[in-house]
């Protein structure tokens, strides 16, 4: 018996489907083989231009200083150590305020009461307690820093500690702008040299990032000084340095 026409049509369609699937698998395998042999690199802005890191700095005169002053006291009991430290710190705070430091510019940054020990062959032995109280004061008149340091030293007596003085600019925006301009100029000079060496023409910047060279910007480096001995404390404010890095990507013509 001859097969009917619909049966032949079904066989033909089935064969076509098998052939199509076979062709698809063949193309997929071929594509996979080629993909394994070819390395495709993603296109980024760093690959389509010249990337440089410019550095700039500027100086400005400081208009304020921060002084760190503390007191300590030792006693056989924690209560006595605290009371003695409180008395010494009260005198230090009074000296700061009487020499022009505002109450809002004085901040306690450390306070502790800890047991004290002596050590010998028998092991540690508690001998009392020590109380520590430290403050940081902002002095708005840099010419008065030496006078303030002297007053704190006298007020605290043998229980006072002055750990350091740091100078800064209350508004470093002008120095920051100068540092940024210097950094951009430095970046442009570097990019021109690279373009000339590569035999290409330098285009316009396509990306500029302040502090894009691996650190936060701007960075303000404040001058520092330590308190000296009597009769007066010589303090030199010096200059405050503002440094800026910029990452710039230039197009290539």
Q: Where do the structural domains in the chain lie, given as residue ranges?
A: 45-61+172-252, 64-168
Q: Give the separation between CA 147 and CA 96, rounded to whole angstroms.
A: 10
Q: By C-alpha distance, which of 157, 156, 161 is closest to 226? A: 161
**Can you point out the beta strands (E) in 92-239?**
106-120, 123-139, 160-168, 202-210, 219-221, 224-225
Q: pLDDT value at position 217? A: 47
Mean pLDDT across 52-71: 92
Q: Which CATH superfamily is domain 45-61+172-252 in?
A: Protein of unknown function (DUF541), domain 1 (3.30.110.170)
Residue 32: pLDDT band (50, 70, 90) is very low
3-state DSSP call for residue 252?
strand
Shortest CA distance to 89 belongs to which of 108, 74, 104, 76? Answer: 108
DSSP secondary-structure letter at 147?
A: H
- Burial of residue 250 (CB within 10 Å: 0-12, 13-18, 19+) is buried
- Phi/psi for 45 (5° steps) reads -65, -30
Q: What is the pTM of this model?
A: 0.59
The SS3 assignment for 102 reads coil
pLDDT at 193: 93
Q: Mean pLDDT of all residues in the chain?
A: 79
Cis peptide before 182 (omega within 30 of 0): no
Structure confidence at residue 213 (pLDDT): 83
Give the mean model confidence (pLDDT) for residues 91-120: 95
- Considering only 66-75, 128-137, 228-237, which range has the smallest mean pLDDT? 228-237
Task: Average the pLDDT over 184-212 and give the result.
Answer: 91
Shortest CA distance to 55 belongs to which of 220, 179, 205, 172?
Answer: 179
Judge whether 78 and 170 are in contact, CB under 8 Å: no
Indicate if the pLDDT at residue 95 is higher than 60.
yes
Residue among 86, 87, 55 at smallest CA distance from 211 = 55
Superfamily in which the 64-168 domain is placed by CATH: Protein of unknown function (DUF541), domain 2 (3.30.70.2970)
Q: What pLDDT score was predicted for residue 171?
A: 80
Do residues 190 and 54 make contact, with C-beta atoms less than 8 angstroms apart?
yes
């Amino acid at each position: 018996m001859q097969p009917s026409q619909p049966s032949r049509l079904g066989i033909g369609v089935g064969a076509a489907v098998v052939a199509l699937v076979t062709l698809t698998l063949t193309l997929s395998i071929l594509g996979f083989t080629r993909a394994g042999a070819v390395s495709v690199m993603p296109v980024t802005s760093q690959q389509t231009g010249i990337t440089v890191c410019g550095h700039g700095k500027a100086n400005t005169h400081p208009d304020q200083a921060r002084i760190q002053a503390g007191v300590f006291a030792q006693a056989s009991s924690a209560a006595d150590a605290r009371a003695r430290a409180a008395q010494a710190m009260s005198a230090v705070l009074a000296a700061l305020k009487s020499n022009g430091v505002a109450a809002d510019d004085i901040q306690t940054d450390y306070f502790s009461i800890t047991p004290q020990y002596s050590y010998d062959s028998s092991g540690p032995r508690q001998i009392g307690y020590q109380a520590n109280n430290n403050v940081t004061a902002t002095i708005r008149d840099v010419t008065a820093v030496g006078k303030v340091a002297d007053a704190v030293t006298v007020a605290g007596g043998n229980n006072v500690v002055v750990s350091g003085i740091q100078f800064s600019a209350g508004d470093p925006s002008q120095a920051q702008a100068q540092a940024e301009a210097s950094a951009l100029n430095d970046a442009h000079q570097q990019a021109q040299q690279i373009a000339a060496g590569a035999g290409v023409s330098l285009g316009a910047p396509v990306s500029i990032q302040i502090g894009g060279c691996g650190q936060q910007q701007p960075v303000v480096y404040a001058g520092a000084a330590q308190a000296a001995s009597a009769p007066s404390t010589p303090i030199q404010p010096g200059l405050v340095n503002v440094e800026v890095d910029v990452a710039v990507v230039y197009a290539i013509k």
